A and B are shown apart, each in its own frame.
Chain A
Amino acid sequence: MNHSLLFRALLICVPLAIGGCGQDSGTDTGTSTENQSNAEGVIVDVSDPNAQFVPVLSYRTGAYAPNGTPVANGFTDYLKLINARDGGINGVKISFEECETGYSTSRSIECYERLKGQGPTGAAVFNPMSTGATFAITEKAPVDKIPLITMGYGRSESRNGGVFPWNFPIYGTYWTAADILITHLGNINGGLNNLKGKKIALVYHDSPFGKEPIPLLEKRASMLGFELLSIPVTHPGVEQKSAWTMIRKEQPDYVLLWGWGVMNSTAIKEATGVRYPRDQMYGIWWAGSEPDVRPAAADAVGYQAISMVSSGQAQVHKDILSYLYDKGLGSGEREGVGEVLYNVAIINAALVVESIRTAQSKYGDKPLTGEEVRWGIENLDITEETIEKLGLTGYMYPLSLNCSDHEGKRAARLHRWNGESWEYSTDWITADDSVIQPMVRSASDTYAKEAGIPTNACDS
């Protein structure tokens, strides 16, 4: 009796749940028939033998969804745009599949295993979108011969292509970012030497992501004589009372915020709670986007963050709106196009597409393997002309990579939240490579020794 009741309840519930989701996606992107005719040639099936497969690790659920969703939208929108506007990369369409990781490392590895062999030639390049996952996949990528682009995150020492041939932390590592922030603090104090005796607090996400900048900041602290206060915040970061009580007690001169997801908006709210001035708080580029400051509303005004790219719309956004959103093919909401993280993801996707294009110049216009794409990334040369052609003028910056430098650019600007939008608040600030380079050298040598791999793959 009991059993049959339960069964019936389940029989009713499950179709309801599935029916509910069907309706949901229907309202998102118009009716399904209209959708299908529009989607032709834009969304390519993974099994298409003539398409280049690009795996997408994303997180649209969980504590990191507010930040993960715009990233996933921007990335997939750009890939769709290349299909819709240009008919693919030199005629080779892009197929992609999203895999939800929830920002969990173990789930990311599962997604990696699931997607790496898909498409006619396997995955072209992985963008793990998580430093923890990058650490794990770094061990697997050389075996599977698939490159990783970790734009603005990942292992800092992996910019040394001689030891990490498969990792590409393009546009800056966390060591670079930390050094830029310290340089900026020096600038506003009239020189780095004036940081002596100051107290700088690092409020960080207690994970490989948050811990990455610590070695550089410690080195800088001992060089310049400021006091570094490292305050960890446990995942997912909604509980920060003790961290900010400590900040109220210690009254540091500056707070560096190394957060992601809900941790950022919570931190800004907590800072308001303990009356810590927002204009003395500086975020990493992952803590400087709309979802971070909007929940804190007016309290966030004056908060600054380092920026790979700020918000706004270029030519490419107009194309995305007309080719995708006007036809109901966009990945997210129209309003989200041009937000900070959306733009970061567009730059990331553009790097992927240009790497494949570069690789095609050597291996021909056909779906390429991960190994061939790796060559394309390493020989990437993005000029002002390319950027103009991509419709990203003012959003993407020239860079060229080579075997010994997988980072390409070690300069960034800061942007400030004015209550409504982010606007650049400083000029370009360059990190001091004479500080970072020896650290990269020694960290990658240690890695190579432990892993038993050569340190000079570039010379051969």
Chain B
Amino acid sequence: MFYREAGQFKTSYKADQAVFPIFQDKIFVAIWLFIGFVVVPMLASEYMFRAIFIPVIIMALAAIGLNLLVGYCGQVSLGSGAFMAVGAYAAYNFMIRVPELNPLICFLLGGLSATVVGVIFGIPSLRIKGFYLAVATLALQFFTDWTFSRIDWFTNYTPSGSIAVQPIEVLGVVFDSPIRKYFLCLVFLVIFTIIGKNIVRGRIGRAWMATRDMDVAAEIIGIRPVYAKLSAFAVSSFFIGVAGALWAFVHLGSWEPLAFDINLSFSILFMVIIGGLGSIVGGMLGAAFITLLPLFLNQLPVWLGINISTAMISHLEFMIFGALIIFFLAVEPLGLARIWQITKEKLRLWPFPH
């Protein structure tokens, strides 16, 4: 009933090729944008901004980036934390060494640096696949961990290896309050989502998907695996690199190499898997799920007024979180995005399922 596309006639190719061909989807996206840009800023508290919305938005950007690589091109990567680190440290170095640069340009340069690293470390993907590639990207993770904690130049010779940055200033606007930071991240996410969505709809995205589904067949129909794979690495690491710069400058404000360790890579990969491989909205749903669920579980006993020790809450958090991940994957291996899709299909017929 709600998602019935009957009566929506496409009279031009352009209409047929729109991002959201169904009218209801357009309304839905408009509602989400309205919530994001108007409702949330009016209602949210400082804690909600700092601990929930900003991290989720930045992680969503990273998860979309990784999804381009893993979900669309089928190249498993465990190096997302490394790409984020490259983005963050590169942006930091551009900012302190070329102070005249606009911080937003520094973020994009950070992303570009991650692209370069991504392409270089993507080269092994031409020869190795699957788990073996995951191991190769793991090497990148350890390599960047080592680089940023051992080569003092990258941290501008700070004695403890911990970097502190000031709130960024763009054209006279200082992004210091949570609400401004939130808008900055949201704008980044919207722009990159539009870019990502259009790349995967187009020629490049089709090449990625063909490579993912069967690389030999893709090669036979004229897709060069070198370009397909390396472009996926390049675009993906650009997204993740920008997310890393935002994570460091907007969310953390002060960070150490440990902030971008292997755990971050794992959690971004989990976001992609739980959210749904090969889906832009899946990246966002996965980021929200992985970031928010532990916080929610951690605070639930306090809200319910159950008096148990923080250690026990912490143990329960891990157990329930793990159980829920298994539950979701067992019920819907294709991720939250697939659940959303099924919901839409059900809504199409509801309330008359037959």
Contacts and interface: CB of A to CB of B under 8 A. Distances in A.
B47 A17 contact: no
Contacts of B258: 105, 132, 207, 235
Contacts of B160: 131, 135, 155, 208, 211-212
Interface in B155-185: 159-162, 164, 166, 176
A451 interface: yes
A21 B254 contact: no
Interface in A58-80: 58, 60-61, 65, 69
Given A140-B253, A208-B256, A214 B310 contact: no
Nearest to B159: A215
A299 interface: no
Interface stretch (A6-14, A357-365, A404-412): A6-14
B253 to A, nearest CB: 5
B332 to A, nearest CB: 10
A443 B316 CA distance: 43
Contacts of B261: 235
A206 B149 contact: yes
B274 to A, nearest CB: 16
B309 interface: yes
B191 interface: no
Contacts of A117: 46-47
Contact of A105 (B256, B306, B307): B256
Contact of B162 (A13, A24, A208, A451): A208
Contacts of B256: 105, 132, 135, 207-208
A58 B255 CA distance: 20
A106 interface: yes
A358 B331 CA distance: 59
B255 A21 contact: no
Contact of B161 (A98, A100, A211): A211
Contact of A100 (B159, B254, B313, B327): B313
A384 interface: no
Classify the secondary structure of A's interface with B.
Answer: helix
Given A215-B159, A235-B258, A451-B166, A143 B149 contact: no
Nearest to B164: A139
Contacts of A106: 252, 259
A114 B47 contact: yes
A334 to B, nearest CB: 16
A190 interface: no
B298 interface: yes
Interface in A1-33: 2-3, 6, 10, 13-14, 17-18, 21-22, 24-25, 28
Contact of B308 (A25, A61, A114, A212): A25
A135 B316 contact: no
Nearest to B149: A206
A84 to B, nearest CB: 18
B254 A17 contact: no
Interface string A416-460: 000000000000000000000000000100010011100000000
A399 interface: no
Interface string B254-275: 1110110100000000000000
A138 interface: yes
A102 interface: yes
B98 interface: no
Interface residues of B, number: 41
A109 interface: yes
Contact of A25 (B161, B295, B309): B309
B315 interface: yes
Nearest to A209: B160
Contacts of A443: 159
Interface in B12-39: none
A327 B51 CA distance: 38
Interface string B140-162: 00000000010000000001111
A144 to B, nearest CB: 9
A94 B288 CA distance: 36
Contacts of A60: 309-311, 314
A103 to B, nearest CB: 10
Interface in A175-204: none
Contacts of B306: 18
B43 interface: no
A388 interface: no
B42 interface: no
B252 A98 contact: no
B197 interface: no
B84 to A, nearest CB: 13
Contacts of A136: 252-255
Contacts of A131: 160
Interface in B270-317: 295, 298-299, 306-316
A138 B312 contact: no
A450 B166 CA distance: 8
Interface string A154-189: 010000000000000000000000000000000000
Given A10-B323, A21-B312, A443-B159, 16 more contacts: A6-B327, A18-B306, A60-B310, A60-B314, A65-B311, A100-B310, A100-B313, A106-B252, A113-B47, A113-B50, A114-B299, A136-B252, A136-B253, A208-B162, A212-B159, A450-B96
Interface of B: 46-47, 50-51, 96, 149, 159-162, 164, 166, 176, 252-256, 258-259, 261, 295, 298-299, 306-316, 319-320, 323, 327, 330-331
The 7 closest A-B pairs by CB, nearest first: A60-B311, A208-B160, A100-B310, A135-B162, A208-B162, A215-B159, A61-B314
